Amino acid sequence: MSRRKRMMEDLDQDIRDFIERETHDNIDRGMPPEEARYAALRKFGNVARVKEDTWEVWSFVWLEQLWQDVRFAIRMLAKNPGFTAVAVLTLALGIGANSAVFTVVDAVALRPLPVFRPDRLMQLYVKSPQGVEPYSSYPDYDDIRRQVRSFSGVAAYYHSTRFLNSLDESSEVLIDAVSPDYFAVLGVKPLLGRTFSRELDSGAQSETGVVISYRLWQSRLAGDPAIIGKEIKLTGETAKVIGVAPPHFQGAEPLVPSDLWLLIGRAVEFNHAYPAGRSNREFKTVARLSDDAKVDQARSELDTFGHRLAIAYPQTNRATTFQIVPETKRQGRMLPISLLLMAVVGLVLLIACANVAGLLLARAEGRRRELAVRAALGAGRQRLARQALTEGLLLSTLGGAVGFALTYWLMSFQRALMPPALAFLGPDMRMDLREVVFAASVTLAATLLSTLTSVFHAWRVGLAGGLKGEEMTLVHRGHRLTARNLMVAGQIALSVIMMTSSLLFFRSLYRARNQPVGFDTRKNLVGLSLHGLAGSRLRPQQFLPILAERAAGLPGVKRTVYAFRFPLSGAGSGMSAPVSIPGYQLPEGQSEISINLNAVSPGYFQTVGTRILEGREFTSADGPDSQSVVVISNTMARRFWPNGDAVGKFIKFGNENTLIVGVAEDAKIEDTRELPVPYMYLPYSQINFGQGVVIVEADTALAPVISSLRREFHRFSQGMVIAHVDTVQSLIEHSTYDLMLEFRLIGILSLLGVFLALVGLYGVVAFVVGSRTREIGIRLALGAGPGQVKGVFLLRGLRLVLAGVCVGLLVALAAGRLVARFLYGIKPYDPLSLAMAVGAVTVAALLACYLPARRAAKVDPIVTLRYE
């Protein structure tokens, strides 16, 4: 700047000097001084112009013009605060919704695991006659680790939960019980202390050391720098912290973020039933490819190895092979639903941009004269178009900033999006450079989308140039509104599509929640799931009946029973047992089939309302020493005893003959949407478990009963904790949580989209009314009634609405197949959903047209005709 200033001062002096010299020359040629000076000035020409041209040599012209444009745009926006606020807010909603959804999608489907070379990590799957599952047995894992050369390391783990600081129910943490080489295989170095190692952590003498996540360390242990070596209390035991994992590392699965790791051998449940058997498949297994191994090579080696195991252990491994799926591919499973969400939120952005484009265009129409004046004064059309673009950029940058801030704020509520009992389960949603880059790109796209029409408009005005007088034509056909009309019809179409999809999800949710589940959902049932029973002096078989009996005496309690698990209480909390059925030929020469089971107390079926179809339910006579008995599900009875004579037959657990005493109706086990499968109930007294749930039927409001149950339990507890308190209603909600989340997200987004579309529609009709005020005045003066005038504009709006609705309906029908896989119990062309969406959008749209139309009818003809 200073150099330029100095040069310009020099120039002043130089020009004066030049003119003086020229004057002198002229005097020398014999001119009179006065005339000589005049001639010199005339020869020099326009001093200001010369200065300006020279000034331009020293300036970055485009930068200065940009700065001028920005200042001009700021002035224009500040002059119309209403317009600016609406446009910025619209864009903020559009961009904010996009970056929020992207943050979620990034966390669950896109962001690579924070481990060393995630592309070299393989998840192991076991393919057996029962299907393909991500669980293998510990001995199989150990053999693969030792013998398969294509892997440089293999780790096993399983998910579980613990309670930190015991009795406090809110502090449930998700943990991974892991093999010693877990951290080495993932390539994760500790932030503090150490992780596990085979040398230090094998052998019976090793202590119960745990590695904690950075998140847990910061949130629950106050980031204590001297945490290493300190003891923390986990459900029923104390554990020493040996290491802190690096920030953002939460285990091998982003959807199941772990906060604490302990060794498999140290996990309490294994002190009781160490799952050494090859039939016990419950370990997830992750392998790292050797540096020189290819995926195909590892596949074929693993295949051969699987066959060898199948020959060596025919009892457990018959027809069983292993498969690997690259970690990066496994993550891609969340991609379809992610894409659906991104598509919906993209529609919202499109609608928002169309709105802003409409607003800008309406204003540009109003500024036609100003643009023409500027064009006449020498502004090039490029300059005019650039001016329009600058204004759009400013608007969307403001909108983007507000939207991003909004998202950041919303993300602090991410835990609230999870079901209450799973609040500790939130994936690590964070906003870093990736999110900023995404928001910036969306903002840029929004700028282009929303300014395209007004830039084109400015270009055209610049081209036309002329300063035409104001349109005096009475019949204003509104050709110039074609772009806006198209946009509004498009918005209506998009709203219909979005509204339809959210209704489809709502109806799926309703279906999933209101279908027979095989127990009585009208009863006030509460389940207290207990953990750490193993630490108690009494065995659960002795303890649970006593607790149930005490609970039965509490006020408001009708009846109590107990069981191994509460129906619908989440995936993975079930148990299965291998069963052989005399007289039934299993496929592929299997001798046993694995069937899921529950263990229940006498009176269970009557209390939860699962009907016994044949035979009887358990009584107190079915004790530990009497004949072992079983109640089977209707599906199991029909599959294995198609003649309907299951009761009285025997099945075998190992060598033990067990008598079928009853057949119960099919009840949902984990999810209300599952199909019925064979299921068994055993008497709780005849089986040994470290887990249980006390089920209480209350006859009054649940809340006081739950709190008195808690008090009773704590008086009684011996190193145990209440893991969950569930009601039947809450469990049904949990099991359909994915549908509800999708319905809520898509529902909110589509409401947003409809709202924006209505604002756009209102804007168009209001603008038409505004620009035709004089015509309306004349019509009224000539005797048209207010109703007629209203009708003209309503009709105009109606045409747009109908066009939009028709297009929307067609697209919704065509696109239905895309969402079909996410729905439950209804077809994507569900007529009720479509009708409701069309109806709602049409009614709302007509209202949006009616408001400005009514204003048209109130025009005072005298005032409008006096104008100008």
Partner 1 sequence: MSTKEQRERLELLQGTLDLLILRTLLLGAAHGHAIAKAIEMRSEDVLQVEQGSLYPALHRLIKRGWISVQDGTSENNRRAKFYRLTARGRRQLEVETSKWDKLAGAIARILRPAETEGES
Residues that bind partner 1 (CB under 8 A): 7, 10-11, 13-15, 17-18, 21-22, 25, 43-46, 49-51, 53-54, 56-58, 380
Nearest CB to partner 1, comparing residues 458 and 754: 458
Rg (CA), the chain: 38
Pair of tokens at residue 607: 């209390």
What minimum distance in Å lies between the beta carbon of 20 and partner 1?
8
Pair of tokens at residue 251: 């285990």
Nearest CB to partner 1, comparing residues 10 and 133: 10
Nearest CB to partner 1, comparing residues 22 and 253: 22
What minimum distance in Å lies between the beta carbon of 50 and partner 1?
5
Pair of tokens at residue 376: 């006449």
Return the half-sphere exposure (C-beta side, CA atoms, 13 A cut-off) of residue 204: 1
Contacts of 51 (CB under 8 A, 6+ apart): 8, 11, 12, 15
Nearest CB to partner 1, comparing residues 22 and 614: 22
With contact defined as beta carbons under 8 Å apart, do 156 and 172 qualify?
A: no
* Count of residues making up the chain: 868
Pair of tokens at residue 733: 């909600």
CA of residue 238 relative to chain centroid, distance? 36
Pair of tokens at residue 771: 């620009």
Dist CA 495 CA 679 (whole Å): 45
Contacts of 233 (CB under 8 A, 6+ apart): 164, 165, 166, 239
What minimum distance in Å lies between the beta carbon of 471 and partner 1?
26
Pair of tokens at residue 433: 């450079």
Nearest CB to partner 1, comparing residues 54 and 171: 54
What minimum distance in Å lies between the beta carbon of 69 and partner 1?
19
What minimum distance in Å lies between the beta carbon of 30 and partner 1?
18
With contact defined as beta carbons under 8 Å apart, do 139 and 281 qualify?
A: no
What minimum distance in Å lies between the beta carbon of 44 and partner 1?
5
Return the half-sphere exposure (C-beta side, CA atoms, 13 A cut-off) of residue 520: 14
Strand partners, 629: 659
Distances (CA, A) of 514 to 369, 673, 733, 834: 62, 11, 11, 21
What minimum distance in Å lies between the beta carbon of 49 and partner 1?
6
With contact defined as beta carbons under 8 Å apart, do 351 and 761 qualify?
A: no
What minimum distance in Å lies between the beta carbon of 379 and partner 1?
12
Nearest CB to partner 1, comparing residues 60 and 274: 60
What minimum distance in Å lies between the beta carbon of 115 and partner 1?
55
**Distance in Å from the first CA to the final CA of the chain:** 49
Nearest CB to partner 1, comparing residues 50 and 191: 50
What minimum distance in Å lies between the beta carbon of 100 and partner 1?
47
What minimum distance in Å lies between the beta carbon of 819 and partner 1?
53
Nearest CB to partner 1, comparing residues 20 and 35: 20
Contacts of 692 (CB under 8 A, 6+ apart): 529, 530, 533, 540, 544, 562, 563, 564, 684
Which residue is associated with the tokens 């950075």?
214
Alpha helices (H) in 120-257, listed in sequence order = 138-147, 182-186, 198-201, 214-220
Nearest CB to partner 1, comparing residues 21 and 817: 21
Pair of tokens at residue 735: 């099991």
Pair of tokens at residue 742: 């999708």
Nearest CB to partner 1, comparing residues 255 and 379: 379
CA of residue 625 relative to chain centroid, distance? 52
Nearest CB to partner 1, comparing residues 14 and 674: 14
What minimum distance in Å lies between the beta carbon of 21 and partner 1?
4
SS3 label, residue 166: coil
What minimum distance in Å lies between the beta carbon of 72 and partner 1?
21
Amino acid at residue number 821: R
Distances (CA, A) of 599 to 35, 143, 575, 580: 120, 34, 10, 19
SS3 label, residue 134: coil
Nearest CB to partner 1, comparing residues 306 and 462: 462
SS3 readout for 264-333: HHHCCHHHHCCCCCCCCEEEEEEEEECCCCCHHHHHHHHHHHHHHHHHHCHHHHCCCEEEEEEHHHHHHH
What minimum distance in Å lies between the beta carbon of 1 and partner 1?
14
SS3 readout for 565-611: CCCCCCCCCCEEEEEECCCCCCHHHCCCEEEEEEEECCCHHHHHCCC
What minimum distance in Å lies between the beta carbon of 784 and partner 1?
46
Nearest CB to partner 1, comparing residues 53 and 645: 53
Nearest CB to partner 1, comparing residues 53 and 64: 53
Nearest CB to partner 1, comparing residues 16 and 294: 16
What minimum distance in Å lies between the beta carbon of 40 and partner 1?
10
Dist CA 216 CA 258 (whole Å): 10
Nearest CB to partner 1, comparing residues 28 and 292: 28
